[in-house]
Amino acid sequence: MAHAYTSKEMMALTAGRLVKNGDVLFAGTGLSMLAAAVAKRIHAPQSVVFFETGGIDPALKELPLAVADPRVMAGTCMNSGLLDAFSLLGHRRLRTIAFLGAAQIDPFGNINSTCLGDYHRPKVRFPGCGGACDAASLAFGVIIFMQQEKKRFVEKVDYLSSVGWLKGGNSRRQAGYKRGGPIAVVTNLGVMKFDEQSRRMYLAACYPGVSPAQVAENTGFDLDLTRAGESAPPSQEELTILRREVDPQRLILGPAPE
């Protein structure tokens, strides 16, 4: 039997499913926090969450609303600082998975979180790349959250804040990156992945009730739809954990489904 759920719930759970047990998770706040927390409770108990501010493996009895929230420093195994956090992010020993969000993304997973329009006199200014540029550079892999809209999925981002597969193919490695690159883009409609050779984005799965055509309509560039499957809907267990344990106040989940 199907359960009612919101697209935010589906996004958090979908990203959570991409986590492997033991992954070291570099989380921002918002959806990434939910994805990490739910994965840890369901299938990745040995995964560790850490924040760029230096909080490692916090108890997370309450959800942080920023990466400098005092809740990222409570019950941790260690409180350090930014340099420690970034030294872990790129550590060759660790399979670090970073969750990022952005305002724009291009077909190769390059993202913009800096501005729209001219850089020197932007139409819209965003906060800036923060640690996302570093996570995109140094992490073992990156999972990106996006709202699927034509104006966000664009041929060319207005400002390249954080590098994905760059121009595709081998270009990322040639630019000097030793590892990493985006694994998946999780949106309100489905999951995009990247071709092993061309490194161009393709539709990997639609959420239940979403058609590939609907995803294409909300994408500003050509998207290969031929490999699209369908995501499994949230299980009762997943929803229960997400709603009761992870975000009972719905601080990030927002309004409950009708």
Partner 1 sequence: MSASIDLKDKLMSAEEAVRRFVKDGDMIALGGFTVNRNAMVIAREIIRQGRRELHLVMHSHGQAMDILVGAGVVSRLELAYGGTGRFAPTGIRFRKAVQAGQVQVEDYSNFQMSLRFLAGALNLPFIPSCSGFESDVLNREGFGPELRGRGRIPSRKAIITDNPFSPDREPVVLLPALAPDVALIHAQFVGEDGTVRIKGLTFLDIEQAKAASRVIVTCEEVVPSTFLRQDPDQNSLPPFLVDAVVLAPFGAHPTACHYFYDYDPRHLNMYRQVAGDDNDFRTYLKEWVYGVADQEAYLAKVGVSDLMRIKANSSVGYAPGLDRR
Does 40 help bind partner 1 (rule: CB under 8 A)? yes
19, 160, 186, 189: which one binds partner 1 (CB under 8 A): 160
Please state the φ and ψ torsions of residue 215, each to the nearest 5 degrees.
-65, -45
Catalytic, out of 9, 52, 237, 245: 52
3, 4, 20, 128: which one binds partner 1 (CB under 8 A): 128
> What is the closest distance, in whole angstroms, from the C-beta atom of residue 91 to partner 1 in the complex?
7
The helix (run of H) or strand (run of E) holding residue 97 is: strand 96-101
Contact 76, 53 (CB under 8 A): no
DSSP letter at 258 equals -
Window 169 to 188, contacts with partner 1 (CB under 8 A)? 175-178
Does 145 help bind partner 1 (rule: CB under 8 A)? no
Closest CB to partner 1 among 9 and 134? 134
Window 55 to 94, contacts with partner 1 (CB under 8 A)? 55-57, 59-62, 64-83, 86-94
Please state the φ and ψ torsions of residue 252, each to the nearest 5 degrees.
-105, -35
Parallel/antiparallel/unpaired status of strands 104-105 and 96-101: unpaired
Closest CB to partner 1 among 114 and 219? 114
Contact 62, 71 (CB under 8 A): yes
Does 123 help bind partner 1 (rule: CB under 8 A)? yes
Window 189 to 228, contacts with partner 1 (CB under 8 A)? none
Rounded Cα–Cα distance for residues 134 and 3 (Å): 38
Strand partners, 14: none
Closest CB to partner 1 among 126 and 221? 126
Closest CB to partner 1 among 64 and 212? 64
| Span near partner 1 by CB under 8 A; candidates 113-121, 147-155, 181-189, 219-227 | 113-121
Closest CB to partner 1 among 113 and 148? 113
Of 111, 80, 107, 114, the C-alpha closest to 98 is 111
Window 224 to 253, contacts with partner 1 (CB under 8 A)? 249, 251-252
DSSP structure string for 179-246: S--EEEEEESSEEEEE-TTT--EEEEEEPTT--HHHHHHT-SS--B-TT-EEPPPPPHHHHHIIIIII
Contact 29, 6 (CB under 8 A): no
52 is catalytic: yes
Q: Which residue has the tokens 């996570």?
A: 135
> What is the closest distance, in whole angstroms, from the C-beta atom of residue 56 to partner 1 in the complex?
5
Kindly list the catalytic residues: 52
